[in-house]
Amino acid sequence: MDDPAATPKLPPARDRVVPINDRLAPLYPEFEGLNYEGPLQLLIAVILSAQCTDARVNKITPALFARFRTARDFAECDIKELQQLIKQSGFYKSKAKNIRACCVELVNRFGGEVPANLDDLVTLPGVGRKTANVILGHAFDTPGVTVDTHVGRLARRLGLTRHRDPVKVELALAEIVPQSEWLHFSGRLIMHGRKVCLARKPRCEKCPIADLCPKIGVKGLAAKRKRKGHTSSGRKVVKSKTADGEATERASA
């Protein structure tokens, strides 16, 4: 198991993960995510969510799902029309290509239905382990650890894993998180990463799990910001000299 001894003052990862989950649970009782009806819509929405916020995807999908209702509809669609409908999601050309190719596979190999197992899902265009685990967990009630950039970052900061490879992070978390909480724990880390444990400037002073966190890498972020000349509030320090040559510093507006 990947269980770094992040700090001698804290228990090992296996002993901290349940208290961490218990404290985050009331803050994020329901994962704020994508709107969908059924496995197919979830699959399409997750593909669209790459490099795009869930809020933006939720603005795009009503018109998209009103126009295309089945896997065959997507498989036989005009690619230009599909691109236009999803344009606001970013990288729309590659996403449209993946969506149509994915649905062609669904029609040809799975009777137009989204398969309910990981091995089949990851063979579909545009579907990796993260997407597959999201679909399995939310559409088929099959537990899985979903690892996006937030989950990976928080897992390392919390000392739950040293790995950077998403698959290795997934497997490491699966060893220490109770299986019944796999999906929920992933969702809570995602929301906590969006709202509190930010990538460049984590809000440790507002964090309910700060005493359970070794803050791996956080000091390095602070030092990096200091070297670049930023105040603790995030504003850049402007250095100058007075008329008599005295050095002064002030925070930019």
The two tokens of residue 153 are 């970052």
Domain containing 46 equals: 1-216
| Catalytic member of 54, 95, 130, 215 | 130
Reported as a pLDDT band with limits 50, 70 and 90, residue 4 is very low
Give the per-residue pLDDT at 220.
75
Examine the domain organization and report whether 227 and 167 are in the same domain.
Answer: no
Examine the domain organization and report whether 73 and 171 are in the same domain.
Answer: yes
132-148 as b/e, with b when 16 or more CB fall inside 10 Å? bbbbbbbbeebbbbbbb
Kindly report the pTM of this predicted structure: 0.76
- Residues 216 and 213: their CA atoms lie apart, in Å, by 8
Q: Dump pLDDT digits (tens) for 94-128.
A: 999 999 999 999 999 999 999 999 999 999 999 99
Q: Dump pLDDT digits (tens) for 68-87.
A: 999 999 999 999 999 999 99
Examine the domain organization and report whether 55 and 157 are in the same domain.
Answer: yes
- Note if 148 is an active site residue: yes
Give the per-residue pLDDT at 33.
81
Examine the domain organization and report whether 189 and 227 are in the same domain.
Answer: no
Examine the domain organization and report whether 40 and 106 are in the same domain.
Answer: yes
The number of folded domains in the chain is 2
Give the per-residue pLDDT at 227.
66
Examine the domain organization and report whether 119 and 27 are in the same domain.
Answer: yes
Give the per-residue pLDDT at 219.
81
CATH of the domain at 209: 1.10.340.30
| Catalytic member of 73, 97, 148, 168 | 148
Q: Dump pLDDT digits (tens) for 40-69.
A: 999 999 999 988 989 999 999 999 999 999
Give the per-residue pLDDT at 228.
65
- Note if 120 is an active site residue: no
Examine the domain organization and report whether 57 and 153 are in the same domain.
Answer: yes
Examine the domain organization and report whether 182 and 222 are in the same domain.
Answer: no
pLDDT at 236 over 90: no
Examine the domain organization and report whether 81 and 198 are in the same domain.
Answer: yes
